[in-house]
Amino acid sequence: MDTPAQPRILSLTTAVPPHRLLQDQVLPAAQSHFAPNNPNFSRLMSVYQNAAVETRYSCVPLSWYTSDHTFPERNQLYIDNATDLLVDAARRAIEEAGLDIADIGGIVTVSSTGVATPSLDALVMERMQLPRDIIRLPIFGLGCAGGVVGLSRAAALARAEPSRPILFLVVELCGLTFRHNDFSKSNIVATALFGDGAAGAVIGCNGDGPAIEHWGEYTWPNTLGMMGWDVQEDGLAVVFSRDIPSFVRREMKQALTGFLASNAIPKESIDTFVSHPGGAKVIDALEDIFEIAPGALTESRDILRDFGNMSAATVLFALRRAMDTHKKPGRMLLTTLGPGFTAGFLTLRA
C-alpha cells in the first residue's frame, strides 16, 4: 500500500483592514451608545478591561458604528472588504510559497460573518484569474472553529491531489455584525472583543514547511444554542452562552484525550500549543486542560491583545506568530471551538 502524501503548510500570511481601533477609544463610544438604553451598562463596563484586548482592526471607521445600517448595506461591505483582504492574503501566500497563480489546484475559503453567492472563492478566483479548473470549497457556519477545521479540509484535498497545491483562505469581519439597536449583553460583549482579519496559506505535498499530521473534531450533543447567529431584519445577531468557559473546563479535556488517543499521540510529545483565543477566561481554562503554566499560551494571548477575536482567522494569526517565535516548535497542537458546539484539533510537525 502506498504511503499517503504528506500535506504541508508551504506559506502562511495574515491581513488586516486599515482602521485601527484602540479599546480606550471604543469604551467611551460604547458608553455613549449603550448607557442610555441599558440600565445595567455601568455594571457591564468591566468587560472592556477584562476582555484582555487593547487593539483591533476594522474595515470601517469607529464612526460607522454610531449609526444604524441595514442588512443589505452591511453585507455589501462584507463582500467588498472580504474580497479585498482575501486577494491580498492570497497573493502574498502564493508568492511566499514560491509559486505562480497558475500552479494553484484548489481553493478552500472559510467565513461566517456575511453571505456571498457567488461565494467568496469565486470572487477571489475572478479577481486573481486563478485557473479555471481548480477545486472550489466554500465553508460557512463553522464560526471560530473554522480556522482549524477548514485547514484540515484543505489538507485532505492536498493529500487527495498531491500534485495540486491548495489555497486556503479565511476572512471574518466580525465588526460588521454590530447591530445598532441591539442593547443586549451579548452585543455589548461583542463590541469589547471582536475584530476583523484574514489569513491565507498554501497547502501542498511538494515543498518545505510544517507537516500537517493529524486532524479531527468533536461536536457535543445538545449544545446548538451555545454559539452562533440569529438572523434578524437588520443583520446577524451574535449568540454566545456565558457558560462557555465553564463548559470548556468541564468537557474539553475528554474530547482532547479522545483525539490524541485515536491518533496515538502522546500528550508529552506536544511541544507547542496554539489555541484560538476566544476570550481571556477560555484561554485560562485551556491552559489548565493542557496542564501548562498560567500564561503559557503566549501567542494566543498576544494575538487577542493586539487583534481581538477575529473568529476563524484568529488561530492562524497565533500560528503565524508561533512559527516566527519558536525556531524549533517541534510538534504543535492547534485547537479551536465554535458553533455546533464543536472543537477542532490539528497537529503539525515543524
Position 114 scores a pLDDT of 94
Report whether 143 contacts 111 (CB < 8 A).
no
Contacts of 186 (CB under 8 A, 6+ apart): 237, 238, 239, 240
At position 293, the amino acid (one-letter code) is A
Quote the radius of gyration of the chain (alpha carbons, Å).
19
Characterize 284-310 residue by residue with b for buried, 16 or more Cβ atoms within 10 angstroms of its Cβ, and e for exposed. Answer: bbbbebbeeeeebbbbbbbbbbbbbbb
Would you say domain 211-349 falls under CATH 3.40.47.10?
yes
Closest by Cα among 11, 144, 15 to 81? 15
pLDDT band at 3 (very low <50, low <70, confident <90, very high): low
Residue-wise pLDDT tens digits, 63-97: 998 888 899 999 999 999 999 999 999 999 999 99
Residue 1 has pLDDT above 50, yes or no: no
Report whether 196 contacts 58 (CB < 8 A).
yes
pTM of structure: 0.93
Residue-wise pLDDT tens digits, 265-292: 999 999 999 999 888 889 999 999 999 9
CA torsion through residues 157, 159, 164, 170, sign: positive
- CATH, range 8-204: 3.40.47.10
Report whether 309 contacts 174 (CB < 8 A).
yes
DSSP notation for 245-303: HHHHHHHHHHHHHHHHHHTT--GGG--EEEE----HHHHHHHHHHHT--TT--HHHHHH
Closest by Cα among 321, 230, 238 to 274? 321
| 61's grid cell | 471607521
144 is catalytic: yes
Other CB atoms within a 10 A radius of the CB of residue 133 amount to 8
Closest by Cα among 80, 100, 78, 75 to 90? 100
Residue-wise pLDDT tens digits, 170-203: 999 999 988 888 777 777 888 888 999 999 999 9
CA–CA separation, 161 vs 337, rounded Å?
Answer: 28
Residues of the chain with CATH 3.40.47.10: 8-204, 211-349
